Structures are given as structure tokens and as C-alpha cells.
């Protein structure tokens, strides 16, 4: 009987599938936070649900440069061997042509070492996963202003295609207070070559929020912050066309659409539980 029920369970949920665009993240709800979730032999941390402690979820960030294909995630939990299909689709991101100070496109020799050091420092931060969760509510926008550039635009700087826009820009023509998107710990607060005045907050579990082009800091490395805390003033520092706030998220070392990510997390708080199958019926 037990075997029959397990087989029935696998059969019933064989079509368990999610769709996600490149550059965005998807939340996989799970019936509990036990077991092991793997994608291509890479282990994905299963996290306890913030509202229903007996449930679990996993965040799967998809890199911007991922091509459309199917990923097979496998959740092994006791007798259950659950296949979860993740269908990666191609987002229709716009193209932006931007003119900035030429030194911020082709940096002079003397700053190359500084740029490399700052890149390595950031990568070290983003690849560090703090097991503790600091947040217990949805993330909020760090500024009450309109969006001037969305995440994902392919960007041509001074006529050269350099990269894509890794965050969302908010209008801030005069210096405005920048608020922490959620509770966390400040892990970087300094002036950088490209991002100018920069604050990075560790929210735990591999989630980092980033605030660029700031003119003043109200926090320093090591400070615990609470959601809505005034951490800085916006500005026009680094590689910019004018004053604004650039706001981004790094999830498990992968840059992800901040608006989409915040919506995904918020759904955990507001949507009735609909999760992957478990063996609870056995």
C-alpha cells in the first residue's frame, strides 16, 4: 500500500513545473523544509517558510545570461524523489544608450587595480552565505520615487555595448534619504569606482541588497539595520548620467531583478500555501 501511494504521489505531481525569465528568480514552495534539493548536482538550500514554520521554500535565481532551457530540480525527502521542472524563458528586456564620462567606460591604467580589488571584494561578499535569516517581513523599496530605468536593459555606454542594467534606478534629483529594504547587517559602506558611494546589506541566507551612487553614509560596516532605517543619502557618484539611486539584489551570488524578487518574497506572506507534494498522506 505504501509503495502504491508513493507511486501515485510521483505520478500525480509529475507535471510540477515553474516558468522563470533569465535575470529573475523563482520561489519553489515545498511542503516542509527537510530533505535535499539539487539542480545539476548543485545543492540548493531549503529555507523555512517565514509564515508557516512547518513549510519550506527554495529561491532559484536565474542568471541574466542563461539561455532558454529546462532545469530539473530534484527534491529528495525520505521516500519521496520529486522532480520539479524549471522552464527558463527569455525576457524581452529593452536596450538603453547611455553617455557617461569616458573614464568610466574605458578606465585609465592607474585605476584598473582599484577596479579589480573592488570587484573581488564584492564577489567575496556575494558568495558568502550567512545561514541566519535577519528578515521576517517582505522587502520594501528603499525610496519613495519613480523608476527611471528598469532591471535588465542591455546597455550601450558611449557607443560600446558594455553590459546590462543589474538593478533598478529611482529618480532622486536632490539628495534623498535611502531606507534599508529589510533588516540585516551592513557589510560594505564605501566609495567605489563604478558604483560610487555604496552600501551593501546582508539579509542572511545569501540575500544582499545594494544601494549605489550615494552622497553620504549614515551606517558603517558591521552595523545592524532595521527595515526603513535611514542608511544614506542619494547622490550622483560613480558611473552615472545624473543623480539617482541604483538599487539591486544579489541572491546566492547571482544578480536578480529586484522588483521581481521582492514580489516573490511578498507572495510568501500573502498567498495561500500551495506547495510541492510531501509524503504527509502516507
Q: Which residues bind Zn ion (CB under 5 A)?
A: 167, 169, 246
Q: Smallest distance, Å, CB 141 to Zn ion? A: 14
Q: How many CB atoms lie within 10 A of CB 43?
A: 9
Angle ∠(116,119,121) on CA atoms, nearest 5? 110
Nearer to Zn ion by Cβ, of 49 and 239: the residue is: 239
CA-closest candidate to residue 250, choices 202, 217, 187: 202
Strands (E), 31-153: 36-39, 42-44, 47-48, 56-61, 69-77, 80-89, 95-98, 147-149
Nearer to Zn ion, 133 or 171 (CB): 171
Round to whole Å and give the CA distance between 79 and 63: 32
Which residue number, 46 or 240, has a Cβ lying nearer to Zn ion?
240
Minimum distance, C-beta of residue 136 to Zn ion, in the bound complex (Å): 28
CA–CA distance, 46 with 62 (Å, rounded to integer): 17
Q: Provide the b/e sequence for 101-121 (b: ≥16 CB within 10 Å).
A: eeebeeeeeeeeeeeeebeee
Nearer to Zn ion, 34 or 150 (CB): 150
For the bound state, the minimum distance from the C-beta of residue 102 to Zn ion, rounded and expressed in Å, comes to: 19
Q: Which is nearer to Zn ion, 73 or 201 (CB)?
A: 201
CB nearer to Zn ion: give 48 or 243. Answer: 243
CB of 118 to Zn ion, least distance (A): 16
CB of 244 to Zn ion, least distance (A): 7
- 175: CB partners within 8 A, 6+ apart: 215, 216, 233, 234, 235, 243
Nearest approach, Cβ of residue 195 and Zn ion (Å): 9
Amino acid at each position: 500500500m505504501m509503495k502504491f501511494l508513493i507511486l501515485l504521489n510521483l505520478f500525480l505531481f509529475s507535471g510540477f513545473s515553474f516558468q522563470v525569465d533569465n535575470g529573475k528568480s523563482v520561489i519553489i514552495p515545498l511542503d516542509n523544509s527537510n530533505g535535499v534539493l539539487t539542480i545539476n548536482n548543485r545543492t540548493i538550500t531549503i529555507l523555512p517558510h517565514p509564515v508557516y514554520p512547518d513549510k519550506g521554500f527554495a529561491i532559484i535565481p536565474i542568471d541574466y545570461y542563461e539561455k532558454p532551457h529546462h532545469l530539473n530540480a530534484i527534491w529528495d525527502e525520505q521516500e519521496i524523489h520529486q522532480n520539479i521542472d524549471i522552464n527558463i524563458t527569455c525576457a524581452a528586456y529593452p536596450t538603453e544608450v547611455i553617455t557617461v564620462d569616458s573614464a568610466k567606460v574605458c578606465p585609465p591604467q592607474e585605476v584598473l587595480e582599484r577596479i579589480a580589488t573592488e570587484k573581488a571584494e564584492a564577489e567575496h561578499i556575494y558568495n558568502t552565505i550567512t545561514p541566519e535569516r535577519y528578515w521576517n517581513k517582505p522587502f520594501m523599496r528603499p525610496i519613495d520615487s519613480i523608476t527611471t530605468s528598469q532591471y535588465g536593459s542591455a546597455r550601450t555606454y558611449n557607443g560600446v555595448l558594455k553590459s546590462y542594467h543589474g538593478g533598478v534606478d529611482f529618480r532622486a534629483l536632490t539628495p534623498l534619504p535611502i531606507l534599508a529594504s529589510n533588516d540585516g547587517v551592513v557589510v560594505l559602506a564605501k566609495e567605489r569606482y563604478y558604483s560610487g558611494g555604496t552600501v551593501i546589506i546582508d539579509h542572511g541566507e545569501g540575500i544582499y541588497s545594494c544601494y549605489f551612487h550615494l552622497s553620504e553614509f549614515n551606517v558603517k560596516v558591521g552595523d545592524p539595520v532595521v527595515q526603513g532605517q535611514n542608511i544614506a543619502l542619494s547622490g550622483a557618484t560613480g558611473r552615472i548620467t545624473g543623480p539617482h539611486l541604483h538599487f539591486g539584489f544579489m541572491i546566492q551570488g547571482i544578480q536578480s531583478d529586484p522588483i521581481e524578487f521582492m514580489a516573490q518574497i511578498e507572495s510568501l506572506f500573502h498567498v495561500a500555501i500551495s506547495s510541492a507534494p510531501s509524503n504527509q498522506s502516507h
